[in-house]
């Protein structure tokens, strides 16, 4: 045994003893919660695949009751808190069980080696930069330990989901099972959304399952799900499967439309073009646009207005040049807001522009590592890239963009490598590629890389794709001739 193994053993033993002592001195409610948590950790230790399924299902379907939140104390709080939820704790407990199992397997020398992923270094670089930026932000008092820690944890837990999925899925059978479970759970989410639409007679937004989470972030989830299901529909080997996936796709489209997310509508165009170009089905682009135009006239009037308001991002009234120069010479949030109103730009778009102006001083004061995670509220900017620029600075934003670039290269390569594999796997690769393009564009109007209902599915699917990559590498090594003695 090495020093690391001995230290791990003593830490686990101390944790068990402390937990037992804490249960003995706590009230029944906390004791029951800890016992249930301990049972789930044991389950994740012996069957991490089942624990992972529980975590994915809980992230999509649990009511999302908050355990705690960060947001009210922010100088830039606009009413959208970053919340620690029960599903976050479930992911942590899953990680604890899986990590303990991996440690035991290493002790006994039965832990299998896995190939290094092309983008794993980019993930670790981003985590390191985010941690450093947050520590600097706490030191310079632009964020707090609670807020910074919670914001950092929310980014970290999605990577944990990815690495656990990558390591837990061991063969093609596991990959296919988890893909099908994901589709089934997503179907339940869509049925809940259709129920909400029917209950409000088409007037209400589609919220995230049982909670009133903003529908704009939820649009990112459907930007992933729509190309995913469309790919299965086009590649279905049987008519029965194609019919089922066609109905599935229609349900996803209806839910997406009723999120009434204008940024999502714009991102949908980029996602659709990427899908058909990658599939080399250029002839489908124009008919798809005609179908969307036809469906537009079948929508309720309130949803049609959301589409029509897209043109409000462009100024509609002429502004006097002298007036513009006057406002810009004494640029303040109030003057900029007045300028936006007089130009005829939609208030929602104007608020985003106004937030950019207000955050510029933070970027100027802290250009390299930003003001730290948690220094700016999620809804304050509603732009993932600007939020990372303010929170992590130019270095942090660069690390994030580099990670996105490496992810794009990997997903693009997997679309090619999986083209002759099982239809479920090749369809998933194409769906993830197109959905990723949609997420990148939608990130201009929402902080979607923080949203658990989007990021857990995304990194879960990325973990599945990485597991397929590992299977291909293993198969490639088996085909290589042995070196001569």
Q: What is the pLDDT of residues 366-393, one digit of tens each?
A: 888 888 888 877 666 778 888 888 889 9
Q: Over pLDDT 70: what percentage of the chain? A: 66
**pTM metric for this prediction:** 0.81
The confidence band for 439, taking pLDDT boundaries of 50, 70 and 90, is very high
- The whole-number average pLDDT for the span 318-330 is 49
Mean pLDDT of all residues belonging to the chain: 76
Specify the pLDDT at position 485.
47
Can you give the pLDDT at residue 358?
66
Q: Give me the pLDDT at residue 200, please.
A: 72
Confidence of residue 356 (pLDDT cuts 50, 70, 90): low
SS3 per-residue string spanning the chain: CCHHHHHHHHHHHHHHHHHHHHHHCCCHHHHHHHHHHHHHHHHHHHCHHHHHHHHHHHHHHCCCCEEEEECCCCCCCCCCCEEEEHHHHHHHHHHHHHHHHHHHHHHCCCCCCCCCCCCHHHHHHHHHHHHHHHHHHHHCCCCCHHHHHHHHHHHHHHHHHHHHHHHHCCCHHHHHHHHHHHHHHHHHHHHHHHHHHHHCCCCCCCCCCCCCCCHHHHHHHHHHHHHHHHHHHHHCCCHHHHHHHHHHHHHHHHHHHCCCCHHHHHHHHHHHHHHHHHHCCHHHHHHHHHHHHHHHCCCCHHHHHHHHHHHHHCCCCCCCHHHHHHHHHCCCHHHHHHHHHHHCCCHHHHHHHHHHHHHHHHHHHCCCCCCCCCCCCHHHHCCHHHHHHHHHHHHHHHHHHHHHHHHHHHHHHHHHHCCCCCHHHHHHHHHHHHHHHHHHHHCCCCCCCCCHHHHHHHHHHHHHHHHHHHHHHHHHHHHCCCCCC
Percent of the chain past pLDDT 90, that is, above it, reads 19
| pLDDT value, residue 32 | 64
Q: Is the pLDDT of residue 409 over 90?
A: yes
What per-residue confidence (pLDDT) applies to 1? 43
**Where are the domains positioned within the chain?**
117-313+370-472
Lowest mean pLDDT among 62-76, 123-137, 468-482: 62-76
- The predicted-structure confidence for 204-259, as pLDDT tens digits, reads as follows 556 555 444 457 778 889 999 999 888 888 888 888 888 988 899 989 988 888 88
More confident residue, 187 or 27: 187
pLDDT at 211: 47
pLDDT number for residue 74: 42
- Residue 400: pLDDT band with limits 50, 70, 90: very high
């Amino acid at each position: 045994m090495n020093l690391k193994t001995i230290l791990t053993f003593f830490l686990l033993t101390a944790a068990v003893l402390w937990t037992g002592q804490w249960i003995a001195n706590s009230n029944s409610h906390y004791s029951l919660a800890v016992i249930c948590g301990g049972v789930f950790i044991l389950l994740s230790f012996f069957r991490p695949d089942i624990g992972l399924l529980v975590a994915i299902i809980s992230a999509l379907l649990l009511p999302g009751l908050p355990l705690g939140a960060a947001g009210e104390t922010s100088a830039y709080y606009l009413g959208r808190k970053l919340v620690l939820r029960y599903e976050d704790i479930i992911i942590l407990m899953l990680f604890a069980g899986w990590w303990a199992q991996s440690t035991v397997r290493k002790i006994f020398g039965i832990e299998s080696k896995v190939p290094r992923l092309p983008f794993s270094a980019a993930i670790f670089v981003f985590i390191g930069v985010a941690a450093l930026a947050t520590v600097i932000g706490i030191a310079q008092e632009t964020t707090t330990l609670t807020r910074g820690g919670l914001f950092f944890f929310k980014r970290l837990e999605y990577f944990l989901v990815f690495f656990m999925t990558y390591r837990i899925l061991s063969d093609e059978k596991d990959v296919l099972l988890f893909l099908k479970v994901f589709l089934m759970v997503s179907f339940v989410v869509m049925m809940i959304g259709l129920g909400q639409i029917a209950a409000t007679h088409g007037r209400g937004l589609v919220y995230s399952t049982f909670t009133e989470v903003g529908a704009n972030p939820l649009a990112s989830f459907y930007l992933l799900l729509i190309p995913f299901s469309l790919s299965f529909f086009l590649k279905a080997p049987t008519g029965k499967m194609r019919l089922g996936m066609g109905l599935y796709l229609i349900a996803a489209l209806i839910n997406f439309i009723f999120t009434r997310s204008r940024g999502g509508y714009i991102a949908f165009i980029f996602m659709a073009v990427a899908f058909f170009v990658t599939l080399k089905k250029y002839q489908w682009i124009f008919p798809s646009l005609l179908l969307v135009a036809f469906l537009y006239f079948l929508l309720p009037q309130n949803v049609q207005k959301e589409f029509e308001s897209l043109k409000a991002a462009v100024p509609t009234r002429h502004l006097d040049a002298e007036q513009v120069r006057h406002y810009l010479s004494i640029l303040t949030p109030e003057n900029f807001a007045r300028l936006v109103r007089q130009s005829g730009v939609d208030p929602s778009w104007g608020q985003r522009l106004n937030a950019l102006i207000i955050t510029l001083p933070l970027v100027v004061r802290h250009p390299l590592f930003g003001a730290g995670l948690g220094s700016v509220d999620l809804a304050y900017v509603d732009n993932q890239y600007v939020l990372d620029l303010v929170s992590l600075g130019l270095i942090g934003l660069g690390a994030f963009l580099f990670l996105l670039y490496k992810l794009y290269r990997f997903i693009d390569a997997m679309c090619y490598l999986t083209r002759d594999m099982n239809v479920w796997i090749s369809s998933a690769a194409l769906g993830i590629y197109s959905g990723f393009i949609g997420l990148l564009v939608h990130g201009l109007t929402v902080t979607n890389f923080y949203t658990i209902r989007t990021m857990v599915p995304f990194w879960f699917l990325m973990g599945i794709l990485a597991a397929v990559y590992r299977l291909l590498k293993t198969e490639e090594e088996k085909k290589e001739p042995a070196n001569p003695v």
